[in-house]
Amino acid sequence: TELVSIPAPTTSFDHTNLTTVAGCYYVTAVSRSGVESLPSNRVCNDACPLFVLPNVFTPNSDGKNDVFAPLRCPRFVEQVDLIVYNRNGSKVYEGSSRGLSWDGKSSSGSDLPSGLYYYQVTVRYAVLDRNAATQVLKGWVQILREGVSMR
């Protein structure tokens, strides 16, 4: 299966931007007359090892830290399930999407107040090692809204 075609005279390719295809591949060159070269070394492109989440965000529509979202990568995420609880243990938000981008609103769509919230995130990856396809993260996140300062 052809993953990408690189037109002449380009002679290099960076595979790190391939975010939709997890797997191993090799490269061949095909001449104008259709003759294919021997394959290159096998290269494997897998998901990032860490799904890192922040512990504070400020949903104030200023374009900076407005959503609770991963800090790095992640590549090859198939689905993210997020459950958020308030400090009393009541579920205030539950959602699923291909990427995590929670805006600090409850499941009913109202702004949650500034404060500390606990979360459980279940991440499903499209990865080479099917035993590592699911990752569960638990932690806390603080919502800071206007008029609230960090001390």
Q: In 10 A of CB 126, how many CB atoms?
A: 17
Which comes out higher in pLDDT, residue 79 or 141? 141
What is the residue type of 43? V
Query: What are the tens digits of pLDDT across the range 9-48?
Result: 776 766 666 555 666 777 787 888 888 888 887 776 665 6
Backbone angles phi, psi at 7, to 5 degrees: -75, 150
Residue 143 phi/psi, 5-degree rounding, is: -95, 125
What is the C-alpha separation between 56 and 78, in angstroms, rounded? 25
Model-level pTM? 0.68
Give the dihedral sign, CA 124/125/126/132.
negative
Task: Dump pLDDT digits (tens) for 56-75.
Answer: 999 988 888 999 988 876 66
Q: Is 119 helix (H, G, I), strand (E, B) or coil?
A: strand
For residue 39, what pLDDT is reported?
Answer: 82
23 vs 128: CA distance, rounded Å:
6
| Cα–Cα distance, 94 to 47 (Å, whole number) | 25
pLDDT of residue 113: 96
Which pLDDT does position 140 carry in this prediction?
A: 97
> Does 83 score more than 80 pLDDT?
yes
- At residue 49 the predicted structure's pLDDT band, cuts being 50, 70 and 90, is low
Higher pLDDT, 107 or 39: 107
Nearest to 99 by CA among 62, 70, 66, 134: 70
Q: What domains appear along the chain, each with residue ranges and CATH number?
A: 1-45 (no CATH), 56-143 (2.60.40)
